[in-house]
Amino acid sequence: MRFDSAMDQQRHTQKQIDNCNRHSFPEISTHLAIEVHGAQVYSHKVFEEFQEEAKCSIGTCKSRGFTECGSLEVTTVRDANRDRNYEVTYCPDTLKATCSCRMLERKGIISRHVIWIYSSNGVKIIPEQCIVKRWCKDARLSKMFDCNGEATRTLI
């Protein structure tokens, strides 16, 4: 009985969070178009972390050097908050960017260094390959399949 009560409470809390994610829009704090896209894609909790990175990208990141290696652009980005340089590799054709801080691999959101590179290159949306599905607003909307590979129902 206690287990059922705890599960009911957990479901209720999750439904409240889902409702908030679907029917409200977080406040935008920068002029970056990529921040608006992040608010549309990410859940509110993850968007707060992304927004903090976007704010820091404006005030703390500066270019320290730039080289081209074929179709790749390698930029050294100076982060004044951390007093370090980071290497950001960017491919304008595919919009793929990787940073030596490895934040996308560690946390699942792009770093301030990558946001700075995207905004300085006029990228207005977060590329699909940089969006981790579990942090999205619609993460729980996925189909379940039986052992034959046929869709049985949708999780909500």
* Max Cα-Cα span within the chain: 64
85 contacts: CB under 8 Å, gap ≥ 6: 64, 76, 77, 78, 79
Residue 90 is encoded by which pair of tokens?
């960017």
DSSP string spanning 55-93? HHHHHHEEEEEEEEETTEEEEEEEETTTTEEEEEEEETT
User: What radius of gyration, in Å, describes the C-alpha atoms of the chain?
Assistant: 19
Q: Per-residue pLDDT tens for 138-153?
A: 766 556 676 777 776 5
Residue 125 in this model has a pLDDT that exceeds 50? yes
Q: Which candidate, 9, 5, 17, 64, places its Cα nearest to that of 45?
A: 17
Residue type, 66: F
Per-residue 3-state assignment (H helix, E strand, C coil) for 89-138: EEECCCCEEEECCCHHHHHCCCCHHHHHHHHHCCCCCCCHHHCCHHHECC
Asked if the structure places residue 8 within a domain, the reply is: no
Asked if the structure places residue 13 within a domain, the reply is: no
Report the pLDDT averaged over residues 6-32: 84
Asked if the structure places residue 115 within a domain, the reply is: yes
Mean pLDDT, rounded, of the chain? 88
Query: Against a cut of 0.85, is the pTM above it?
Result: no
Q: How many domains does the chain have?
A: 1
**Full domain range(s) for residue 129:** 19-155
Q: What is the pLDDT of residue 144?
A: 62
Asked if the structure places residue 89 within a domain, the reply is: yes
Q: What is the pLDDT of residue 156?
A: 47
Asked if the structure places residue 7 within a domain, the reply is: no
